[in-house]
Amino acid sequence: MASVTFKVWRGTRDQGDFVEYKTDITEGMVVLDAVHQIQAESAGDLAARWNCKAGKCGSCSAEVNGMPKLMCMTRMSDLPTDRPVTIEPMRTFPLIKDLVTDVSWNYRVKQEIARLKPRPADDASPSGSGSGAWRMDQGDVERVQEFRKCIECFLCQDVCHVLRDHHMHGEFIGPRFLTYAAALEMQPIDTDDRLAYLKDKGGIGLCNITKCCTKVCPEEIHITDNAIIPLKERVVDRFYDPVKKLFRVFSGG
């Protein structure tokens, strides 16, 4: 058992500061355990959001020693404890209290993105079996499967400099929703088209592929390589390819 010092952000949107707490750390503890222990021992009013304690609900996102992390998946044994461990809220979203931020902007963005619009089932024709099945290539299924692992922790949104430093929440939907859009655009039965949205309202051109989002994703989704870059290619192909542009002018398309 070792006594460890934590510097935890306390405050509201208007004012706040780091407050030091000491608590004993035992084998197997994660940062969320330490927060719960601090709540029990010395700060009963410390606000922290969590739910599953299993890395699956995406609620306990925070910045531990300056890095966006799920508190329930960050082992104390992986942190240096010879100096204070800092725990602060995600900085990209408005603070509600202590470690709890208002992430509702993300849900509003999600509502803007056109939902899945499936083509008719492959066996819906009079000669088909009528069971409502679609046939698709296994490779296409696996490609979107990766994106569906997202737990909406919003750590990728937190670290993205377009949102974090430039506050372009009105112009850029962020890596989480580029991944969500990719899951729909690459879905083999989908018939909708989100490329104009991604170019204009979604602000995909603002992403400069720094890959910071990929580095912090707890589900290890290859956000930039597998979602953003292929979407960028589709947008460029559609709107900026000079040959296709000419063709559209002459065809009136």
| 6 contact partners, CB below 8 Å, separation of at least 6 | 20, 21, 22, 23, 34, 38, 84, 85, 86, 87
Distance separating alpha carbons of residues 65 and 190, to the nearest angstrom: 42
| Segment interacting with ligand SF4 (CB under 6 A) among 97-105, 115-123, 192-200, 214-222 | 214-222
> Of these partners, ligand SF4, ligand FES, none, which one is at the site of residue 51 (CB under 5 to 8 Å by kind)?
ligand FES
Cα 82–156–233 angle (5° rounding)? Answer: 140
Amino acid letter at 138? Q
Site for ligand SF4 in 215-244 (CB under 6 A): 216-219, 221, 223-224, 228
Residue for token pair 């979107």: 144
Question: 15 or 208, CB closer to ligand SF4?
Answer: 208
> Of these partners, ligand SF4, ligand FES, none, which one is at the site of residue 8 (CB under 5 to 8 Å by kind)?
none
Map residues 153-172 to x or -, x wherever contact with ligand SF4 holds by CB under 6 A: xxxx--xx-x----------
Rounded least distance, CB 234 to ligand SF4, Å: 16
Q: According to the binding rule CB under 6 A, does residue 39 interact with ligand FES?
A: no
Residue 24 host element (H or E): strand 16-25
What is the DSSP secondary-structure string of 81-113? -SSPEEEE--SSS-EEETTEE--HHHHHHHHHS
Rounded least distance, CB 227 to ligand SF4, Å: 8
| 249 contact partners, CB below 8 Å, separation of at least 6 | none
Rounded least distance, CB 214 to ligand FES, Å: 19
Give the dihedral of Cα atoms 38, 39, 41, 45; nearest 10 deg: 130
Which of 96, 121, 212, 236 forms a contact with ligand SF4 (CB under 6 A)? 212
Site for ligand FES in 43-102 (CB under 6 A): 50-53, 55-60, 70, 72
What is the DSSP secondary-structure string of 106-137? HHHHHHHSPPP-BPPPTT-STTS--S------
Considering CB under 6 A, how many residues would be counted as binding ligand SF4?
A: 28
Rounded least distance, CB 206 to ligand SF4, Å: 7
Distance separating alpha carbons of residues 185 and 83, to the nearest angstrom: 47
Question: 23 or 92, CB closer to ligand SF4?
Answer: 92
Q: Which two tokens stand for residue 64?
A: 């531990």
Footprint of ligand SF4 (CB under 6 A): 150-156, 159-160, 162, 175-176, 179, 207-213, 216-219, 221, 223-224, 228
Footprint of ligand FES (CB under 6 A): 50-53, 55-60, 70, 72
